[in-house]
Amino acid sequence: MSRLADLIQNCPPTLADMAIAGIASDSRDVGPGYLFAALPGSRRDGRVYIDQAVDNGAAIILAPKGTYSPVPLLVSDDPRRELALMASRLAAKQPRTVAAVTGTAGKTSTAWFVRAIWTELGKRAGYLGTLGLYAPDVEPKYSLTTPDPVTLSAELKALADAGVDHLALEASSHGIDQRRLDGVTLTAAAFTNLGRDHLDYHRDMDGYFEAKARLFETLLPGNGTAVIHAGSEWGQKMIQRAKDRGLKLITYGTPHADLALISRQPAPGGQKLDISVFGKFVTIQLPVAGTFQADNALAALGLVIACGGDADAATDALNRLPGVPGRMQTVGSLNGAPVIVDYAHKPDALASVLEGARPMVSGRLIVIVGCGGDRDAGKRPIMGEIAARLADIAIITDDNPRSEDPATIRAAVLAGCNGPGQAAEIGDRRVAIQKVIEDLKAGDMLVIAGKGHESGQIVGFETLPFNDAEVAQDVIRSLGGEVRA
C-alpha cells in the first residue's frame, strides 16, 4: 500500500492519505483499493469502463476534468503522463542507467548492440524493445516496442531486483507521444533517422518528428546526453533541439561527426570499418553486414560512452558485436547463395538493406516483400518502387494483411514496381519463400524482408504461426543446403 500523496505531486489534501494498493489502466486488471486510469484514446475511451473498474474494487479514478465517477476523482490535464509518473513512484525501482533509442529504423539493432557492449564491459545489462525483454537471470519474454507505463514500471522494478543496473530500450513514437516513458529516468537518448512510417497515426512528417523530439525536449533530463545521427535534415533539426535545450551532445555517422565513419568495406562475415572516435582513428572488423548496421554500431557506441563507458574498451567491443535476430540475419544458403531475413518493413529500411546487400552479390539480388494491412497505405507503392529498383527480382507477397484484402495490398505494392528489376506476385508467403529458394544459383542472394523476428502472421483477426527464418531453413534443409543457427 502507498499513500496517494506519495504518488502524485500537488495531491488534493482530502485525498492525501488514501491508500493505493495498485494502479491499472485496464479495468480487468483492477483489484480492491486500486487507482484506475480512465484514459481517452483514438480507438477506445477508458472512461466507459469506469463502472466496471469500480465493480472490481477501484477506489479512485484518474481522468480528465468533467469525467463522471462514482468514487473519488483525481483530475489531470495530462492523465497519461500522470499515470506514468505514478506507476514509476509506486514501483520505486529501476535500473540505475537507462539509455533510450528512437528513430524510424535502427532502434532494435542499436539497443541490442548497446546491451552487448555493456555486457562486454562487465555490466549486468538488459534490452527491452521489439524483440522482447532480455537480461541476466530474467525470463525472456515478448513485449510491445514500448510497453504501457504500468507494465513498463513493473518490468523495470523486476530488472532492478534481479541486479540489472544498465538497460537499453527502444522508444517508439507512439510510446513517446502516449507518455509511456514519462516515468523512466534516462541517462542518454539516441536519434537514428526519420523516414516515412506511422503516418496513419501522426498524419504528417512534422508531427512524426515532433513525437520523436519530445524524447529530447521533455524526457531526457537536462544533464543527459543526446546521441544524434548528423547526416540528414531531420538529424540536424534534432541536433538544434538538443542544443537549444542545453543537452550534452554526441554526433555520429558523418565524416566530421564525433563518431565518424571514414570508410567501410564488405568483408567475410561482416565489414571492415575505419572510424574516428573523437579524433582517434581506429579500424574495426564489425561482424555484421550493412552500412546501416555500421551507423547503428556507432549510435550504440555513442550511448555507451554517454553513459560513462570507457571509449577505448567500448570501441574494441564493436569487433565482437552479436547479430540481431531478424536483422540482416543469414539463416542459411543453397548453392552458396545466402538467404537473409530482415525486419525492413518501411521504405528507408528496405532501401538500406538492399543497398547494403548489393556489394555482396555477384549474381542476382532477389527480395521477397509485402506490406501490412490497416497501416499507412501510402507507403505501399513506394515499397514496390524501391524493391524493383534496387533488386534484380522483386517478389511481392503477403505480410500481415490483418483485416484488409491481401490481394488489394499486393496490387498497391505492385503498382510501384516500375523497374528496372523484374516483379512478380506470389500471394502465399510460404510458397514465395519455397519457390525463390528452389531457384537460387551461385552468386545470388535472397532477402526476405518485412517480418524479421516475428513468429506469427496476422490474417484477419487471427495470428497464424509463421517465422520467416524457420520457413526458409526448412526449405533449405529439404534441398540439402546449409542452415545457419
109 annotated among ligand-binding-site residues: yes
Cα–Cα distance for residue pair 62/80, rounded to 1 Å: 9
Cα–Cα distance for residue pair 480/482, rounded to 1 Å: 7
66 annotated among ligand-binding-site residues: no
Q: Decide: helix, strand or coil at residue 206.
A: helix
67 annotated among ligand-binding-site residues: no
315 annotated among ligand-binding-site residues: no
313 annotated among ligand-binding-site residues: no
146 annotated among ligand-binding-site residues: yes
* Dihedral sign for Cα atoms in the order 208, 134, 356, 386: negative
333 annotated among ligand-binding-site residues: no
429 annotated among ligand-binding-site residues: no
270 annotated among ligand-binding-site residues: no
Amino acid letter, 345: H
Q: What is the enclosing helix (H) or strand (E) of 447?
A: strand 445-449
Order the strands of the 22-24 sheet from edge to edge: 22-24, 34-37, 60-63, 73-75
Half-sphere exposure of residue 317: CA atoms within 13 angstroms, side-chain side: 24
Angle formed at CA 37 by CA 33 and CA 41, multiple of 5 degrees = 160
376 annotated among ligand-binding-site residues: no
192 annotated among ligand-binding-site residues: no
363 annotated among ligand-binding-site residues: no
How far is the CA of 113 from the CAs of 81, 169, 353, 400, in angstroms?
29, 11, 18, 28
Amino acid letter, 153: S
263 annotated among ligand-binding-site residues: no
Residues in the chain: 485
450 annotated among ligand-binding-site residues: yes
Here the cell at position 293 is 548496421
251 annotated among ligand-binding-site residues: no
Tell me the longest C-alpha to C-alpha distance in the chain.
76
Here the cell at position 35 is 487507482
Question: How many other C-beta atoms are found inside a 10 Å radius of the C-beta of residue 410?
Answer: 22
108 annotated among ligand-binding-site residues: yes
454 annotated among ligand-binding-site residues: yes
Would you list the DSSP string of 300-352?
Answer: HHHHHHHTT--HHHHHHHGGGPPPBTTBSEEEEEETTEEEEEE---SHHHHHH
375 annotated among ligand-binding-site residues: yes
Residue owning grid cell 533539426:
237
- Per 3-state DSSP, the chain is made up of helix, strand and coil in percentages (nearest 5) of 35, 25, 35
Are the C-beta atoms of residues 341 and 468 closer than 8 Å to each other? yes
**What are the binding residues for meso-2,6-diaminopimelate?**
375, 399-402, 450, 454
Indicate the annotated binding residues: 27, 103-109, 145-146, 172, 178, 180, 375, 399-402, 450, 454
Binding-site residues for ATP, please?
A: 103-109
